[in-house]
Structure 1
């Protein structure tokens, strides 16, 4: 998939849209957990509960479905690391137990895959592979003695790149590869919690096409430079958003010394290079850039987008992402600790002024399971902004602090009266 900055992002490879993702024996999750992919999917929970493992999983599966890499699972995916060896992916780091993934796409297409580490410590093998579609279904299992066989014991000659079969034949030579859709892919743009601090100047290197913004949002700046050079709308949209939400400071591109460019903030007669302002304004830039780019069916994974921002800006980002999801038909997977983020989403559902409904949002609380590992609690928002299954005590910290202040004040007044 290539991103071209010509008015809006365009994608040149058709992909089915992913609807659900299930996994088991993965990282902190022993039993099967399912994430329904909505335009806005929020991951909340305590620190080290497993939210990041879910967020990063999308980058892993993107490469597994690309048909490019030999290995079923890559531990480093587009600079997103999931560990140093296969056991780091597996619950309790037991490589002798398979890790399992199930993906549901639109048009009733499903792919279920189990991956196991063989006796050779670093060799991974697809242990089970199941493809389901309205017109064709095939379930294969692997054993060292028989190779791949279906449920009837028929042997198959198979080879894979990632999860994608490159050869799929029965013992009699019948080729079944044409039955497998080539459209089961993911297009993931992952931006981590710590975005890159920009240089005072950057320069265009002749590259006009970017497929991602980068884990640290590092390509946001050259993308804006290309936008300004091509005179498309992207840099104007980003600048206008800054002006509206950052107290009148409009973001602009200074290209007088091209190919050297500057990003600066302008208000009245004042101009300030973005490196000279608070971190919140430059940390937000990659997020605002990505939200103003259209790439239908893509998945934008954001970890803690609220970092370094004032609480009021948390809500503004939530609205920006929701509008982007609806206007550009793309999905946001957002790991957040920001209460204001969820509050704004609830308000947007009530207002429904740009079409965001209760069916467009789902929240997952990641917590300890009753037996072992972690589990997901699905929380929905109704059309009146009400929450289902809200865990007790979550985001009650502000109320608790207010109560503590009141109690402290009562104690102080009581002590004063006793004197």
Structure 2
């Protein structure tokens, strides 16, 4: 059974004084800007970065500035109203009765957090200095988490825009199977795995027509879902080995013919920004973890709704998806997917982040968690939770 994340507790970490956040197969992080949504992803990325790079020294230093996150110094990480110098990250999973618990000591100007101790399933491991910090995240098979496994993708908000040439990265894709956090390896990924059959029926596009016993290829499925964003899109890839690059272009199928190839720079941002998201969702296996920031960027509302539906389909297929979004269209795509039975209500977690002022004057983040029912209805709409359409409509009446 896959070991998925079911909860995350952050203590004195950035905007959080002490906050538990539940995770489900599909988890939405919503709220106004600067409310701490990205900090949730950063906490997970900090742990993965440390495990992946194996850069912890014998003193248990977790480097704050690496290939996945750049958090600054200890002062940037410690909660402003902290009553002590201890930062904690606790991860709950489907396979552990307790949790994985990291406790760090903060130093104001240091570019790393010093690990004090690590607890797994309620049992404190030996002193960090005697075993070396990198061993703490070696992910033994009995508790290996999807956030430490190769079956992982992170796509940040700042993805590659339209580019005629993309880097050819056989190491990152062929060995690590990574799209890159900017989606920079998407062309290599499609070139390498585009002919691989996708055997998760919940991901199939409704228009896919199969021969008996066959499954769609990844590239075919990507094009079908891309048609929801830009109708008739076809993807062309040509390797340029002499410059370690892949030329990416698009053509468009019309009734009775297909257009010539167009450079990505001539077809707008939406296709380029969305392509890595489609490949991540359609190319992952059950048990994978996908972290997405602002999948709605540069998309027409119809496309945003379809992205919401596809994320729901991925969750139903056993892929864990955590999304930071400002889009009510993405939310509504998920709600419709629940109503249609594509995904169940207990597979979806909705979180709204807000900043109430505490009695002592400090400002921390509070997370409100509305629930969705089988008809796609939401039981509680806190102030600021995708309510601007209604407010604007009332102003126009």
Corresponding residue for 2:270? 280
Correspondence for 2:184 among 196, 199, 218: 218
Corresponding residue for 1:183? 144
Q: Is the 8 A contact 1:96 1:116 kept in 2?
A: no
C-alpha distance in structure 2 between counterparts of 1:59 and 1:373, whole Å: 21
User: CA, structure 1 residues 250+109, in 2 after alignment: closer, same or farther (shift >3 Å)?
Assistant: same
Structure 1 range deviating more: 268-277 or 257-266: 257-266
2:200 equivalent to 1:250: no
C-alpha distance in structure 1 between counterparts of 2:37 and 2:22, whole Å: 15
User: CA, structure 1 residues 203+332, in 2 after alignment: closer, same or farther (shift >3 Å)?
Assistant: closer
Corresponding residue for 1:16? 3
Q: Is the 8 A contact 2:5 2:24 kept in 1?
A: no
C-alpha distance in structure 2 between counterparts of 1:387 and 1:119, whole Å: 42
User: CA, structure 1 residues 161+140, in 2 after alignment: closer, same or farther (shift >3 Å)?
Assistant: closer
The number of residues matched between the two structures is 359
Q: Is the 8 A contact 2:64 2:73 kept in 1?
A: yes
Corresponding residue for 1:10? none
TM alignment of 1:351-390, pairs within 5 A: 351-352=340-341, 354=342, 356-371=343-358, 372-390=363-381
2:322 equivalent to 1:317: no
Bigger Rg, structure 1 or 2 = 1
C-alpha distance in structure 1 between counterparts of 2:25 and 2:34, whole Å: 25
SS of 2:132's partner is strand
Structure 1 range deviating more: 293-302 or 276-285: 293-302
Structure 1 range deviating more: 223-232 or 283-292: 223-232
Query: How far does the alpha carbon of each residue in 1:378-407 deviate from its partner, in whole angstroms, 9 at most, with x for none?
Result: 12101122213320343222222223233x
SS of 1:337's partner is coil
TM-score (norm 1): 0.76
C-alpha distance in structure 2 between counterparts of 1:127 and 1:210, whole Å: 31
Q: Is the 8 A contact 2:62 2:114 kept in 1?
A: no
2:119 equivalent to 1:138: no
Correspondence for 2:332 among 343, 346, 349: 343
Query: How far does the alpha carbon of each residue in 1:147-181 deviate from its partner, in whole angstroms, 9 at most, with x for none?
Result: x4xxxxxxx97323257078xxxxxxxxxx99x95
Q: Is the 8 A contact 1:67 1:163 kept in 2?
A: no
C-alpha distance in structure 1 between counterparts of 2:322 and 2:51, whole Å: 19
Corresponding residue for 1:262? 248
User: CA, structure 1 residues 239+121, in 2 after alignment: closer, same or farther (shift >3 Å)?
Assistant: closer
Structure 1 range deviating more: 44-53 or 57-66: 57-66
SS of 2:44's partner is helix
User: CA, structure 1 residues 35+404, in 2 after alignment: closer, same or farther (shift >3 Å)?
Assistant: same
C-alpha distance in structure 2 between counterparts of 1:15 and 1:396, whole Å: 37
Could you tell me which runs of 5 or more consecutive residues in structure 2 were left unpaired when the two chains were aligned.
199-216
Q: Is the 8 A contact 1:65 1:185 kept in 2?
A: no
Corresponding residue for 1:9? none
Q: Is the 8 A contact 1:224 1:235 kept in 2?
A: yes
Q: Is the 8 A contact 1:210 1:223 kept in 2?
A: no
Tell me the CA shift for residue 119 of structure 1. Answer: 9.2
User: CA, structure 1 residues 163+369, in 2 after alignment: closer, same or farther (shift >3 Å)?
Assistant: farther
C-alpha distance in structure 2 between counterparts of 1:63 and 1:90, whole Å: 19
2:396 equivalent to 1:405: yes
Corresponding residue for 1:25? 12
Query: How far does the alpha carbon of each residue in 1:260-305 deviate from its partner, in whole angstroms, 9 at most, with x for none?
Result: 5333132233232322112112111111111111233222111111
Query: How far does the alpha carbon of each residue in 1:337-360 deviate from its partner, in whole angstroms, 9 at most, with x for none?
Result: 1111111211211110x3x10000
Q: CA RMSD for the aligned pairs?
A: 3.2
2:45 equivalent to 1:59: yes
2:124 equivalent to 1:160: no
User: CA, structure 1 residues 119+201, in 2 after alignment: closer, same or farther (shift >3 Å)?
Assistant: closer
User: CA, structure 1 residues 314+29, in 2 after alignment: closer, same or farther (shift >3 Å)?
Assistant: same
Q: Is the 8 A contact 2:234 2:253 kept in 1?
A: no
User: CA, structure 1 residues 286+95, in 2 after alignment: closer, same or farther (shift >3 Å)?
Assistant: farther
Tell me the CA shift for residue 228 of structure 1. Answer: 4.7
TM-score (norm 2): 0.80
